[in-house]
């Protein structure tokens, strides 16, 4: 399918500015696309033509892509993204909307749907169902690690790449989340900015810090049990090594209107095999 034309947009929130891409039918049902950690709105370039009957807005989350970074001294706490998304849809004038979410974006969408069922009318999730959990007995170690990471972040120097091939190659080196060459180039084209001598990452270095606080698995399951909207989830087969399959199956059993499809691919399968993923999501 021909890639849909997307319009670059800025969305003014009360506390910062989000960048995004808008495509599809402005009079259609509303669909907010939320990307994964360290990705950006280009994550949905290949998938967006299969949702061209929607008014589709793919955002760059704060600190990602072309959106503003959080103010100096702030953290990137998971719950703050929920507020960002709510401010975003309010700024767009959407009283009700669906979420298309990959990885972190899917985690955000699933918790938001549980917390505000009157606003989220459907979920289309890829490689995500709820956020990462941490056992309560690891809370202190997590906090110590986060504070230790934070101490040196202001002195971090950004690496300058001579061209886009270099950061694309760097993105492909993650052993647990392999990327195709095309997918990596799409993400780094939007996820870098030009400086003297080449390109640097546009994402906020604070995104790589250890999370100071995470919910326990019991807390997350309690949240997910509140999802009442129709939900479709695509998971990669084989599962990524960081996914606990027993824990995932326990989460999936909580939502009666959940339809799950498992497709051959990697964590970013929606960028590489857009059509099968779209058909699984759209039913």
**In sequence order, what DSSP letters do the residues of 110-165 get, joined into one string?**
HHHHHH-TTTEEEEEEES-SS-----GGGHHHHHHHHHHHHHTGGGPPPPPBSSTH
Q: Give the Cα separation of 122 and 20 in Å (integer).
A: 21
Comparing CA positions, the residue from 141, 47, 102 lying closest to residue 240 is: 102
CB 153 within 8 A of CB 209: yes
Max CA distance (Å), the chain: 54
Whether 225 sits among the annotated catalytic residues: the reply is no
Inter-axis angle of helices 104-115 and 78-92, to 10 degrees? 70
Of these residues, 23, 43, 48, 103, which one is catalytic?
Answer: 103
Q: Within its chain, how far is the Cα of 22 from the centroid?
A: 16
Q: Which residues are catalytic?
A: 103
């Amino acid at each position: 399918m021909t890639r849909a034309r997307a319009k670059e947009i800025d969305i003014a929130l009360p506390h910062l500015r989000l960048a995004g891409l808008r495509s599809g039918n402005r009079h259609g049902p509303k669909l907010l696309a939320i990307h994964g950690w360290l990705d950006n709105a280009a994550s949905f370039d290949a998938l967006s033509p299969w949702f061209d009957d929607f008014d589709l807005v793919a955002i760059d989350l704060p600190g990602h892509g072309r959106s503003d970074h959080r103010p100096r001294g702030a953290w990137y706490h998971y719950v703050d993204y929920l507020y960002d998304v709510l401010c975003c849809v309010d700024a767009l004038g959407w009283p009700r909307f669906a979420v298309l979410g990959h990885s972190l974006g899917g985690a955000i969408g699933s918790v938001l749907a549980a917390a505000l069922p009157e606003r989220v009318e459907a979920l289309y999730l890829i490689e995500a169902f709820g956020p990462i959990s941490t056992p309560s007995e690891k809370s202190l170690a997590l906090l110590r690690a986060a504070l230790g990471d934070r101490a040196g972040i202001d002195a971090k120097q950004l690496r300058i790449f001579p061209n886009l091939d270099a950061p694309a190659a760097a993105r492909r080196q993650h052993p647990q989340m392999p990327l195709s060459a095309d997918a990596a180039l799409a993400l780094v084209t939007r996820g870098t900015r030009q400086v003297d001598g080449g390109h640097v990452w546009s994402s906020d270095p604070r995104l790589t810090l250890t999370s100071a606080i995470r919910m326990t698995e019991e807390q997350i399951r309690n949240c997910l049990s509140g999802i009442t909207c129709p939900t479709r989830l695509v998971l990669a087969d084989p599962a990524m090594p960081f996914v606990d399959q027993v824990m995932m199956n326990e989460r999936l059993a909580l939502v009666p209107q959940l339809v799950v499809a498992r497709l051959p691919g990697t964590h970013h399968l929606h960028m590489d095999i857009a059509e099968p993923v779209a058909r699984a999501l759209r039913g």
